[in-house]
Amino acid sequence: MKSVIIVDYGMGNMRSVWNAFKTLGAQPKIGSDPEEIKRSDAIVLPGVGAFGEAMKNLRSQNLVDPLRNLVLGEGKPFLGICLGLQLLAEDSEELGHHSGLSWIKGSVKGLPQCKGHHVPHVGWNVVEQEEDSILYKNLPAQSSFYFDHSFYLGSETEIVKGRVEVGKPVVASIESGNVFATQFHPEKSQVSGLRLLRNFLNYI
């Protein structure tokens, strides 16, 4: 049974993520102690809220360096969800300019205001999947996931494995070695979301 630590850095959304992993038979915990994070089989960074506040919380809890060492240095499996995806970027324009974790190339930008597409982007949307994706393995090509965001990761690199149409195609998920992240909320995406989380557990 895989142990999954859900990082508590004061940005909400942890209990529903805990419930999803518990449903799948994993051993989820919520915590922020670096030693407890180190003992886990995988790390999940969820998040709802503003980019700048999130980075401030990660720094104040002295989590930036331990997370980088464990994920990028030691290769511990990692899953970012929603804000947890955006924080991996180099920077963000949300409510000013803020530096991110810089684990991946790209910047977080505001969603475009387009006719027929509301901001914030809230609701179910089909994700265009790349065939070599680990997270979408054995998922139907037209699978829908639940989104709730006003900003997105601007990146066109090969790590982008899912895109969603929001006036233009924007990043829905990324995969880079042991680093996985989704802009949508798999824990709120019913059967498709649970299948995706199962694929993450299988990767572990």
Please indicate whether residue 121 is annotated as part of the active site.
no
3-state secondary structure of 41: coil
Q: Which residue in 98, 121, 149, 185 is the catalytic one?
A: 185
Q: Which residue in 36, 82, 128, 149 is the catalytic one?
A: 82
Structural domains in the chain, CATH included, are: 3-203 (3.40.50.880)
Q: Choose between 111 and 20: higher pLDDT.
A: 20
Q: pLDDT band at residue 118, thresholds of 50, 70 and 90? A: confident
The answer to whether 151 and 108 are in contact (CB under 8 A) is yes
The pTM for the full model equals 0.95
The answer to whether 75 and 41 are in contact (CB under 8 A) is no
Please indicate whether residue 114 is annotated as part of the active site.
no
Q: Burial of 182 by CB count in 10 Å (0-12 exposed, 13-18 middle, 19+ buried)?
A: buried
Determine the Cα–Cα distance for residues 15 and 178; give it in Å rounded to an integer: 24
Q: pLDDT band at residue 168, thresholds of 50, 70 and 90? A: confident
pLDDT for 114 equals 65
3-state secondary structure of 202: helix
Two structure tokens written together for 63: 């989590």
Q: Using alpha carbons, select from 182, 17, 189 the residue that is nearest to residue 86.
A: 182
Please indicate whether residue 187 is annotated as part of the active site.
yes
pLDDT for 116 equals 61
For residue 72, what is the DSSP state? I
